[in-house]
Amino acid sequence: MTFAKRFRNKPFITLLLSALVAATSLCPPEAFAAPQKTVKKSKAKPAKKAVAAPSDYYTGEFVNFGQWKEVQAFVDDMVSKHGFARTELAALLSNVRYLDSVVQLVKPAPPGKPKNWTVYSSRFIEPIRINAGVRFWNDNAEALARAEALYGVPAEILVGIIGVETIYGRDTGRFRVVDTLTTLAFAYPVAPNRDARMAFFRDELEATLLYARQTGTDPLSLQGSFAGAVGMPQFMPSNIVKYGVDFDGDGRIDLKNSPADAIGSVAAFLVGHGWQRDQPGAVVYHATVSPSRAWEQYLNLGLEAKIRPEDLTTAGVVTTSSLPPGMLYGLVDLQNGSEPTEYWVASNNFFAITQYNRSYFYAMSVVELGRAVRITRAGS
């Protein structure tokens, strides 16, 4: 039985503080206090029956993270680097849960299953998401137009990303971010890249605590995906700090409830990762390849545009429309299982999208969903 199942729908249990906490004088400020609920008693009305935990509340197992050597080293860093009070962090750790469900979700998929672009894209380029995209575009046309003018990112790309990520805010994640990041920072499953991934999530936990302190947010109130991503655009906490934009002008950045903030922040992220506003032509161009296979040398060259169009032509790559001269490109292969592979020639702006999620499939889904929404909206 997983930890999540063991604790599901059980009432909140107040635990003894960890040995680390007991050794200190515990007096946490409001910003780090666990949220409290006040129940008013009334003699006029009978007591209500206990209400089950909401469906969007993921429980886990309380563990004494404060006694883990690696966690203690992290606390030392937060105290020395950022001036956090040790008692505050100890109070926070006493409320953090270990999420076995998250550990299971980040484990790599079993090998041997071939990539299939058609199957992958069918999850995103489908009527429910397209129609939701049309409504999102209509409802936020002003913010999308303003972001396109300010950052040079077309509205359809912004719509595509937010649609692929969360269906326009419909599913922003139901895990407590601090639980998720602490679990993955210190209990990541065995994998070849385990050390690098743990370091990544420790950095994100650090960013979460800094963000919470800067904004006066209770860190335990932040919810997100099983990987710790937050809001409509699924920003990791460090990216909220770097690229978050108060695009609706209300004095705060709210990526969960403000579509305008999400739109502006996605545009700022893309520009920060190489999006070029004046780049002519399309983001990608459909291509055919010659039987000579000389073009294979241009596959798997990383997530950036490196190839001159004349070199692609010489190698036997032919696009269905002309490539703007004076630019560099990349050759993208979208594998289709046992069916023929699709080939596309990608511009620099396509590779900017891959910095959001390092996948050709992801970036192409963004492009295709945005295009489908634009066409559907124009015809409605």
Catalytic residues: 165
Judge residue 369's burial from the number of C-beta atoms within 10 Å of its C-beta, 0-12 exposed, 13-18 middle, 19 or more buried: buried
> Quick one: how many helices (H) and strands (E) in the chain?
16, 8
Measured from the Cβ of residue 105, the count of other Cβ atoms closer than 10 Å reads 15
Task: Name residue 317's beta-bridge partners.
Answer: 289
Establish how many alpha carbons lie within 13 A of residue 72's alpha carbon, considering only the half-sphere containing its beta carbon.
Answer: 9
* Short-list 350, 338, 354, CA closest to 118: 338
Give the gyration radius of the chain's Cα atoms: 24
Hey, CA dihedral for 369, 200, 235, 279, is it positive or negative? negative
Count how many residues are written for the chain: 380
Q: CB under 8 Å to 207, separation ≥6 — which residues?
A: 236, 237, 238, 240, 241
Q: What is the DSSP letter of 219?
A: G
- CA-to-CA separations, 49 to 11, 46, 342, 350, in angstroms, rounded: 13, 9, 58, 54
Nearest-10 crossing angle of helices 177-186, 194-215: 150
Please spell the DSSP secondary structure of 277-299, one letter per residue. TT--S-SEEEEEE-TT-GGGGGS
Assess contact for 59 and 53: CB atoms under 8 A. Answer: yes
